[in-house]
Chains A and B, each alone.
Chain A
Amino acid sequence: MARTLLALGLALLIGSAGATLARGARKPKAVTHTVTIDASRFRPSTLTLAPGDSVVWVNKDLIPHTATSQQQGLFDSGTIPAGKSWKRTFKDKADLAYMCLFHPTMKGRVRIK
């Protein structure tokens, strides 16, 4: 009887550990990060994320801005009017410098790794 109970207990433990391992091995859930545009700045100016994560740029400034990759054609929000936002998902690993097309002194960076 004691042996049976021990075996059962062990089986349960192993089963539980297996389930935990399986959960741990699962792909982490994609996260949505926020970059706030305010007072003509991107905050945070550098953001690190995992492949599959998204970034939403929220324009809390009084004037329109863009979030546009410095390397042409990688991503471009177009005009983000004051009070509006723009979301983009990044699937591949990359180190992307971006800027506001309207205000070239405004610069930011998204690191996907």
Chain B
Amino acid sequence: MNPTLHLWVIPLLPLMGAAINGLFGRRFRNSMVSSIALLFTGASFAWALWAALQWVHQPARYVEILGDWIWAGDFHAPFGFYLDHLSMVMMLVVTGVGFLIHIYSAGYMAHEGGYYRFFTYLNLFMFFMLTLVLANNYLLMFVGWEGVGLASYLLIGFYFLKDSAANAGKKAFIVNRIGDFAFLLGMFLIIQHFGSLNFDDVFNSVSKMSPETGWGLLTAIALLLMFGATGKSAQVPLYVWLPDAMEGPTPVSALIHAATMVTAGIYMIARSSAIFSLAPHALEVVAVIGCLTAIFAATMGLAQTDIKRVLAYSTVSQLGYMFMACGVAAYSAAIFHLMTHAFFKALLFLGAGSVIHAIGGEQDMRRMGGLRKLIPVTFWVVTIATFAIAGFPPLAGFFSKDEILWRALQAEHGGWILWTVGIITAGLTSFYMFRLWFMTFFGELRLGKVNHGHDAHAAASHSHGHAADHGHGHGGVHESPCIMLGPLVILAVLSVVGGWVGRPQAMGGSNIFETFLASAIYAPAETAAERGSELVFAAISVGVALLGFLLAYWLYYLQPELPSRITARIRGLYTLVLNKYYVDELYGRFFVKPLLSLSTVVLWHGVDQHMIDGTVNGAGSASKGIGNQLRRIQSGNIRSYAAWVAIGGAAVITYMAWAMFK
């Protein structure tokens, strides 16, 4: 039985929404714009759901070729879509979470300018993301990959009149290009050696190679693909764009920079698991990068005061977890965490958006506080998400994080190191998330009462967010409208129950999620370790999370004046962390500045101005000079013309006479 699923409809629906809103949206009323956007994304979600239900019981993959795109010699790149259990999960996460965030945006953006522009970009993003997820070859995936980069750029720079937003958009775009370059090189290597970019062809050829013969090639391909993924998924060393990307509207941060786009790198690695599984050294690099990113970003999250930036660093850190999981060949664990993370991180961002909305555009946590009573629904959903990300059972984050840590421990090389770093990161995560929670919802509201103390400069540099965008006169703190709370509640429910599909055997489940994905992923056979000790390690991670909670409770609830005294004590370290280890400055000094001056001196002044402009201007002035000389012939004096005629005639006669008498 082979039903026709018409997968092409799924990405095309949001594109139609984008086209309608983009072309005619300026003349529509806001309600019309959001209805169109919601209709098309909703239809896309419904179709995706239908297709998934049709195919969910088939272990095989479903391939749908619409036609040839590029056809050169033996090389084919078709417009083809690909549905297996991996892309099914991604497709449902993207359309489902995307649809919820569309609903939320309809309320959140209601008072903003450029309403139709926002929904056009958002629908465009959905189109590209679904292309990325459903593509059946690397090239079509790359189209989606670039397309989501474009949508991300447009949405980060949504408030383009603000310099910081425009710059953040450019930064995201340029940093992503670096990774994309590596991805391209990886694709070229694949074409050169396998002659095709189709997933099936490539993975078939790869699986026929023995680890010895293909080792160098596969490692090179895997490393290049991984570097591509570090750009999109904001890993060390290319993570710097993600925190700045928070300049965009909050629903964008939730959809693109937390739930979906940034997970594209993880998806790509999981998709290429056949290649990575035969390149163990590349896998180790992936694990190390993930591990570094996780802890590095978590420490940076500790000192941030902007609520969205804390969440941004938390996202980077959680993406590091997923990378680490990929690095220990636990792809299904990575995808599992990707899914649960999409739920609770989207919820956190949307909740933060709701908080920001409620208090009139303030993003600095030091001015918040005591919002628990004022916006109770938001408080409860954010509480659920916070407990989920911190890893408290039985919420979603606990199962996925625990699975990753457990699989890291099983890794062949340095399992203990990975696990230790992972568990420390878990503790840090718990601490900064509860710090956010206590600062925002407990104590008393400090709006306009923050004392500009020793770190006032941080406030100046970080709280430039929504003040301008939300300047529509909030009378007082108020709960968000139902259209915003609905998606929050649904995501909260998902954050609670989402983890149960991956309940490990040790806890009475059967890890349905992993067996579900097994057909789509080339994972090595799991070593039969004693699963009994898993419970012990799970208990340790819960204990660490509890420790983080208690520390935050002590520092930010019981004795709120203590943190500033502690930071004064460890002033140097605190400044270092507050300034994000000066990574941006280092990159600026070592990459941006030299590149800029090189371009200025060599490329601009040297090549462009001297060589290219010189050639063009030289040709121009040469013909001008020659013309100036020749101009003298044409004096306008009849007699001189007659003289030329006479000379010419004489010359002709002379030549003829010479020719005749020769």
Q: Do A and B come from one complex?
A: no
Binding site for B on A (CB under 8 A): none
List residues of B whose CB falls within 8 A of some A CB. none
